[in-house]
Amino acid sequence: MPPSEGAAPALTRHGHWIGGIAVPPSAGGYFEDLDPDVDRPFALAARGTAADVDAAVQAAQAAFAAFSRTPVNFREGVLSRAAAILERDIESLAALMITEIGSPIGKARHEVQRAADVFRAAAGATRHLSGKTLPSDVPGKMNLTFRAPLGVVASITPFNVPLGKGVRLSAIPLAFGNTVVMLPSEESPLMALRLAKVYEEAGLPPGCFNVVTGYGHEIGDALTGHPLVRSISFTGSTRVGTHIRELAARSGKKLTLELGGKSPLVVLDDADLSRAVQAAVLGSFGNQGQICMASSRIYVQRGVAAEFLARFAASASALGMGDLHDPATMIGPIINARQRARIKDHIDDAVAQGATVVSGGGWIGPRCQPTVLTGVTRGMLCHAEETFGPVTSVYAVDSLDEALQAANDSRYGLSSAIFTADLGHAMRFAREVSAGMVHVNGATAQAEPHVPFGGIGDSGMGREGPEYDMEAMTEWKWVSIQL
């Protein structure tokens, strides 16, 4: 029977990507992929099981033997072609990101271009798997060392930068000759499946990149605990990352974790306030605050605190919250009802305990207005916990000493930034701040494809980037030759 007039169109169904083909879920289950801007499903994705995970890992293991022996120029060519495909398809990829995660168009286009840059950095890394020749105590003996790929790498990616992290957590393992099984966030399964098609078009052999979609709490352990998985790359919450670290320790797997943040931005009296405000807006409210590097704590020296706060609040209030396809729009929807409730709880709790909402604090449908708080103190939820939304707190401090002390009063240590004209102050901050990344006269939210990206403490372990991933993605071999 044909659908009745006005009925919603049938949702497309998407299987896993295993061994180079689309595979239906073994248990027959699917879950809804929601458009967060309207809170309606627009597609159905396979609800994976442990059996699906095993099938994907087995496919990756089967592909590893041949792929690990491919010449450098083959892997370099695949990754270079993948970069060109992303740039060719930037508009369709950005459109999917808008629908699937509510990304504003400017952020979406930027993410696609940065992902292409990561592909090219990974292509270059194929030629940098170097070793050494070492002297020997034995006459006529030569010692050689080289790095060899591990095997199957498990990549678990977040919703907020689904393509950027999807490429970063797959292209670099592939560059070194590993194969990959990816478990994307249940909020962004279609972007991972689209990435699989990019790899296919670029000429990656079947089985080298596999995607299992589903709920992490149902199948995550089946992937990270699989005996054939040799290394794990995870980007997500500190709570889940801690669990994965425990599993990896028990099984001896290599591990890279990029977790949460509570990144401090310091503004001293001699700062260029225009640049500082611009960086604070970008760092606090880019991607509606759903960024691990978000400037969620801003410490401003008292001499400029009032002026900074007034200019910052005014800029925040003026941010566009319109059509996500409009380049003027910066604030999109929060990803789901659970996260919206968390943000509301953080704001309401702060206000109830005496904090002041300088700007924002309200909601327009699923979008939270850019919110600037003052008077935030210990005991408030947003003081130490990651809000992961467009909410930041501004504090007045008397000195760099006080700013450093406050900045380091956190269990997180991902990114940080300072605005000052004094190079001595900048370098002291860089040396003493407890963070894996430090930016002078720039925003906390920055990334480049070739730098050591990562944090300390509850913000993770290890570093992402072609040179720095080698330790987690390869193993040393010692070869001795008796001449």
- 234: Cα within 13 Å, side-chain hemisphere: 28
What is the Cα–Cα distance from 200 to 17, expressed in whole angstroms? 11
3-class DSSP assignment, residue 7: coil
Closest CA to 154 of 200, 215, 209: 209
Inter-residue contact 31 to 186 (CB < 8 Å): yes
Q: HSE-up of 404 (CA within 13 Å, CB side)?
A: 14
Identify whether the C-beta of residue 287 lies closer than 8 Å to the C-beta of residue 343.
no
The CA distances from residue 482 to 130, 141, 148, 245, 254, in Å, are 22, 4, 22, 41, 32
Q: Which residues touch 477 (CB under 8 Å, ≥6 apart)? A: 145, 146, 147, 148
The bridge status of strand 141-149 relative to strand 474-482 is antiparallel
Residue with tokens 């691990």: 292
Name the residue type at position 56.
A
Structure tokens at 160: 């907020």
| Nearest of 8, 4, 2, 7 to residue 41 by alpha carbon | 8
Active site residues: 258, 292
Q: In sequence order, what are the residues at sequence separation of 6 or more whose Cβ sits closer than 8 angstroms to the Cβ of residue 262?
A: 296, 297, 384, 385, 386, 410, 412, 414
Nearest to 165 by CA among 146, 188, 148, 135: 188
Report the distance separating Cα 201 and Cα 448, nearest Å: 25
Contact of 102 with 332, CB cutoff 8 Å: yes
